[in-house]
Structure 1
Amino acid sequence: MSRLRVYARIARVLVVVALGLTMAGVFGLFERLGIAHSMVRRQRWSRFFMARLGNALPFRVTVHGELPKAPMLWVSNHVSWTDIPLLGMLTPLSFLSKAEVRTWPVAGWLAAKAGSLFIRRGSGDSQLIRKQMTRHLAQEHPLLMFPEGTTTDGRSLRTFHGRLLSAAIDSEVKLQPVAIRYLRDGELDSLAPFIGDDDLLSHLMRLFANDRGEVEIHLLKPIACEGRERAALAFEAQQAVQKALFGEVAKPAEPRRTGELIAA
């Protein structure tokens, strides 16, 4: 692919990012003027932005399953930063993110203005974020988290950690398991994963220097949380995603209740 076409693709993404900055700037101005904006409005505008960013990325997206009609806690496997716009364009959502994202240039500011919740790993503030998540869900605002706590290369699934799933139990909403898979020429895509010491610019250059990849998003059967243990919920969601991605369920094991990592 010619360099000119690659740069044209990147320019399109930058135009969309500029749109997002403008939208976030308007929200910031209103905040300074004391004009409140509801989370519903923030989520709608976030979806508007995510849809345009997702369309600017070099992927063809196929969605399997039905979008939930009620607010839920979405739990998904995590392969790349592109998961966020590709999932965020499906419906108005907020995201649970690691605290470091808030300090990222541009992306952190956009995430904060869009209503993201941030958590610091190992900081002991899991109870605080759990209360924030519970309040968020109880107010009927959908929320998405990545319970693996990190990205993978898409060839395996890590343990789903259940500590923060208590928010779904407390707010009496269901879990919406989601499986996202990247393919290229019928095989698992090796370009899409954003792992290790990879940097965003290099990752973008690799993506845009190649033809479009395929993305499958599977919206799986919601899981009722009432009267359930969080570790059992995490394990059931992990099994559902494992089966959708690889056609097999995770090996039976006793769900962990202690020493769990906090998802980000």
Structure 2
Amino acid sequence: MSSLRSHARVIRVLWVIGLGLTIAGTFALMERLRVGNSMARRQRWTSWFMARLTAALPFRVTVSGTLPAQPALWVSNHVSWTDIPLLGMLAPLSFLSKAEVRTWPVAGWLALKAGTLFIRRGSGDSKLIQKQMGQHLLGNHSLVIFPEGTTTDGTRLRTFHGRLLSSAIETGTPVLPVAIRYVRDGKPDHIAPFIGDDDLLSHLRRLFANEVSNVHIQLLEPIASHGKERAALAFEAQTAVQTALFGEVAQPAELRPSTARAA
């Protein structure tokens, strides 16, 4: 790819980020003035921003399935930070993210002002996070979580952690499994994954230095959460995503409902 095209992409993304900073700054001012600062409004504007950010990224996106008619807990496999704008453009949503994202320059502040909930792994604040998630869902606001707890290279699926689905059971919110697949030249995209010790700037450089790749987002059948145990619900959601991504794959014994332990 020519350096001119790569630089043009960078300029476009920077313009979109500047637009996002303006929106986030407006919400910060509204917080201070205590006027018109509703989560519904934040989600609508965030979705609008995510659509523009996705358009500036080097992806051809196709979406299959039906958006839920009511608020849901979206559970998706996790390959890259780009999963967030790709899903966020589809509907008014909020995200549950690892606490480290809050410290990222620019992106962390944007995530905070967009209504993101942050979780610090191993800090013992899971009950507080579950309470916040429950309040969010009870307020009729959809929420996206990545129950694997980390990103993968897109060629496999990690175990879905059941504890992150407790809020759906407690509030009776349906769970919407989502499968994201990145493809380059007919094979799993090796550039899109954001894993290990990767940093955001280096990842952006790689994305913009290469040709456009394909992303397929599958919105699967919603799963009723009422009356289910969280391990069983997590297993059901994981199986749906696993099948959508890789076809019928035999599950290891520890993931089967009869032997699964609550996460």
For structure 2, the 5+ residue unaligned runs are none
CA offset digits 1:46-102 (Å, max 9, x no partner) = 001100000100000010100111100000000000000001000000000111111
Q: CA deviation at 1:43?
A: 0.1
Matched, 1:160 2:160: yes
Aligned to 1:194: 194
Aligned equivalents of 1:168, 1:237: Cα separation in 2? 12
CA offset digits 1:194-239 (Å, max 9, x no partner) = 0111111211111111111000001001100110000000011000
Aligned to 1:223: 223
Correspondence list, 1:80-229, <5 A: 80-229=80-229
Letter in 1 for 2:92: P
Aligned to 1:9: 9
Matched, 1:256 2:261: yes
Letter in 1 for 2:46: S
For structure 1, the 5+ residue unaligned runs are none
| 8 Å CA contact retained: 1:238, 1:250 | no
Aligned equivalents of 2:234, 2:20: Cα separation in 1? 33
Aligned to 1:31: 31
Aligned to 1:238: 238
Aligned to 1:75: 75
Q: CA deviation at 1:256?
A: 2.3
Letter in 1 for 2:194: F
Structure 2 length-normalised TM: 0.96
Aligned equivalents of 2:79, 2:123: Cα separation in 1? 25
| 8 Å CA contact retained: 1:240, 1:249 | no
Q: CA deviation at 1:5?
A: 1.0
Aligned equivalents of 2:140, 2:34: Cα separation in 1? 24
Q: CA deviation at 1:250?
A: 4.8
Q: Secondary structure at the match of 2:178?
A: strand
Aligned equivalents of 2:31, 2:94: Cα separation in 1? 19
- Report how many aligned residue pairs link the two structures: 258
Aligned equivalents of 1:34, 1:80: Cα separation in 2? 35
Q: Which deviates more from structure 2 when the two are superposed, residues 114-123 or residues 142-151?
A: 114-123
Q: Secondary structure at the match of 1:74?
A: strand
Evaluate the alpha carbon distance shift between residue 237 and residue 250 of structure 1 in structure 2; reply closer, same or farther with a 3 A threshold: farther
Q: Secondary structure at the match of 1:160?
A: coil
Q: Secondary structure at the match of 2:6?
A: helix
Evaluate the alpha carbon distance shift between residue 3 and residue 36 of structure 1 in structure 2; reply closer, same or farther with a 3 A threshold: same
| 8 Å CA contact retained: 1:95, 1:145 | yes
Letter in 2 for 1:218: Q
Aligned equivalents of 2:249, 2:226: Cα separation in 1? 23
Percent identical among aligned pairs is: 71
| 8 Å CA contact retained: 1:176, 1:222 | yes
